[in-house]
């Protein structure tokens, strides 16, 4: 019951203040969200300034489809609760802000919380003169293996691309292929089949054709590339769960590293059936927005890898706890790493990857020259690995003046993510 406001007529201590003495003399003086799009995708950066000259932190709050809503939560709702607080109390601040609206979770609030949370870890690292991965217990690997994306109009194009990546040192590659005569996720359109039937919906999603195309793709890849390269495929929750079971079973002979998002968050109970029917490893979770959603999946060992979009669950603090919980159940991490995670968010992924014994794999994104200029210190990728930086904090800076040169695209509702449609015109989940 949210009747607190009605009963607090007299001025009272700010509810966000903890009952203990602030641990340091430093105070938060400003909290702001900044939107920029140096690579075309709108990124949301949170900057937390402090009373110590030159000491500030940066966090990733990118929910590109609702960027302005996240910025409003940061500027209008979180900033007033943070100004005057000691940035050292990261856990208490995360707990306080999480319940400060009574209703909690969801991608808008969580991304706003993540921007603040990462910025506070960045500040703590800068205060200590240590990278964040040192604050998490230090590294447990030299560098972080990453996977990249191969896609083609037919299986041979995909095989050629994987081969080229292998020559650059990649050992893990996600593979997506066009579906003849239909649209698909993560691959270019195939040439229209000769004598194709007239269709009601151009580029419609055709689950049966997709299932055949994926089976043919992986048969071809193994034949062409041999057994060693680790192959990944993202179903992107597009099929009926029955088809997900069939795809996982069909792909068993081709020894995938994992099959990603075979079912939608609304269909998680199907994972039990899928698990009972196939040994193809499963990765899931980039759409989850509450760490509690992972509980049955991890506890019952219904997946092998968690695909968390770290900013969508609230930042480093909840992700670190979740990773530790997963370790107890033999579940590994595969943090989401697309282009709608800012370089600051990728640095947070890297810090967790370095420090987690149950790290599995990291999705990479290569930022172009404009993004690298706006975000100096962008994590370095070479030889199929992400390499740690010794810079204090998250190690990525933000040139706000330069960022103004890349304003976000006008927000056109529905343009950031258009749902696919089936042949009869009905909307298909993403």
Residues that bind Mg ion (CB under 5 A): 234
Cβ closest to Mg ion, residue 33 vs residue 178 = 178
User: How many alpha carbons lie under 13 Å from residue 211 in its C-beta half-sphere?
Assistant: 18
Q: Report whether 149 contacts 173 (CB < 8 A).
A: yes
The answer for 106, left when phi > 0, alpha when psi is -120 to 50, beta otherwise, is left
- Least separation, in Å, of the C-beta of 307 and Mg ion? 6
User: Rounded to 5 degrees, what are φ and ψ at 384?
Assistant: 70, 20
Cβ closest to Mg ion, residue 234 vs residue 304 = 234
- Least separation, in Å, of the C-beta of 161 and Mg ion? 18
Rounded to an integer, what distance in angstroms lies between the CA atom of residue 266 and that of residue 194?
Answer: 38
Rounded to an integer, what distance in angstroms lies between the CA atom of residue 51 and that of residue 268?
Answer: 47
Rounded to an integer, what distance in angstroms lies between the CA atom of residue 96 and that of residue 78?
Answer: 10
- Least separation, in Å, of the C-beta of 147 and Mg ion? 11
Cβ closest to Mg ion, residue 234 vs residue 250 = 234
Pairing status of strand 144-152 against strand 172-177: parallel
Task: Specify burial of residue 424 (Cβ count, 10 A radius: 0-12, 13-18, 19+).
Answer: exposed
Cβ closest to Mg ion, residue 107 vs residue 392 = 107
- Least separation, in Å, of the C-beta of 209 and Mg ion? 21
Cβ closest to Mg ion, residue 86 vs residue 234 = 234
Q: Report whether 314 contacts 117 (CB < 8 A).
A: yes
- Least separation, in Å, of the C-beta of 350 and Mg ion? 19
- Least separation, in Å, of the C-beta of 256 and Mg ion? 14
Q: Catalytic one among 56, 170, 185, 294?
A: 185
- Least separation, in Å, of the C-beta of 261 and Mg ion? 5
Cβ closest to Mg ion, residue 238 vs residue 385 = 238
Cβ closest to Mg ion, residue 313 vs residue 355 = 313
- Is 185 annotated as catalytic? yes
Q: Which residue is nearest to Mg ion (CB)?
A: 234
* Angle made by CA atoms 253, 258, 263, in degrees to the nearest 5: 105
Q: Encode burial over 115-134: b for 16+ CB neighbours within 10 A, e otherwise.
A: bbbbbbbbbbbbbeebbbbb
Cβ closest to Mg ion, residue 120 vs residue 303 = 303
- Is 236 annotated as catalytic? yes
Rounded to an integer, what distance in angstroms lies between the CA atom of residue 408 and that of residue 38?
Answer: 8
- Least separation, in Å, of the C-beta of 236 and Mg ion? 6
Rounded to an integer, what distance in angstroms lies between the CA atom of residue 391 and that of residue 125?
Answer: 9
Q: Catalytic one among 149, 236, 336, 346?
A: 236
Query: Among all residues, which ones are annotated catalytic?
Result: 185, 236
């Amino acid at each position: 019951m949210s009747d607190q406001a009605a009963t607090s007529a007299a001025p009272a201590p700010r509810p966000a203040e903890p009952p203990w003495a602030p641990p340091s003399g430093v105070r938060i003086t400003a909290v702001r969200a900044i939107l920029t799009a140096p690579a075309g995708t709108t990124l949301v950066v949170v900057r937390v300034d402090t009373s110590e000259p030159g000491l500030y932190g940066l966090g990733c709050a990118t929910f590109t489809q609702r960027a302005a809503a996240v910025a409003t939560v940061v500027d209008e709702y979180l900033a007033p609760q943070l100004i005057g607080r000691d940035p050292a109390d990261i856990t208490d601040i995360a707990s306080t802000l999480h319940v400060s609206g009574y209703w909690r979770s969801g991608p808008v609030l969580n991304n706003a919380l993540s921007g603040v949370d990462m910025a506070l870890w960045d500040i703590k690292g800068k205060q200590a003169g240590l990278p964040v991965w040192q604050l998490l217990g230090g590294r447990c690997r030299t560098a972080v293996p990453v996977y990249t994306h191969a896609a083609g109009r037919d299986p041979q194009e995909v095989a050629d691309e994987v081969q080229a990546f292998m020559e650059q040192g990649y050992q893990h590659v996600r593979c997506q292929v066009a579906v003849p005569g239909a649209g698909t996720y993560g691959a270019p359109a195939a040439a229209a089949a000769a004598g194709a039937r007239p269709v009601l919906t151009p580029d419609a999603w055709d689950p049966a054709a997709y299932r055949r195309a994926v089976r043919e793709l992986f048969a071809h890849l193994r034949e062409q590339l041999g057994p060693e390269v680790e192959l990944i495929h993202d179903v992107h929750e597009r099929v009926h769960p029955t088809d997900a079971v069939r795809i996982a079973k069909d792909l068993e002979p081709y020894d995938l590293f994992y099959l990603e998002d075979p079912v939608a968050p609304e269909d998680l109970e199907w994972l039990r059936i899928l698990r009972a029917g196939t040994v193809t490893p499963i990765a899931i979770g980039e759409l989850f927005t509450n760490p509690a959603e992972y509980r049955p999946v991890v506890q019952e060992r219904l997946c092998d890898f968690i695909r968390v979009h770290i900013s969508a669950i609230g930042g480093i603090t909840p992700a670190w706890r979740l990773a530790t919980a997963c370790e107890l159940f033999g579940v590994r991490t595969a943090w989401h790493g697309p282009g709608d995670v800012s370089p600051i968010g990728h640095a947070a992924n890297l810090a967790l990857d370095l420090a987690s014994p149950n790290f599995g794999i990291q999705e990479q994104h290569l930022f172009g020259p404009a993004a690298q200029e706006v975000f100096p210190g962008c994590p370095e990728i070479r030889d199929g690995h992400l390499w740690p930086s010794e810079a204090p904090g998250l190690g990525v800076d933000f040139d706000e003046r330069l960022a103004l040169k890349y304003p976000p695209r006008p927000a056109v509702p529905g343009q950031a993510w258009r749902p696919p449609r089936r042949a009869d015109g009905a909307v298909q989940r993403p």
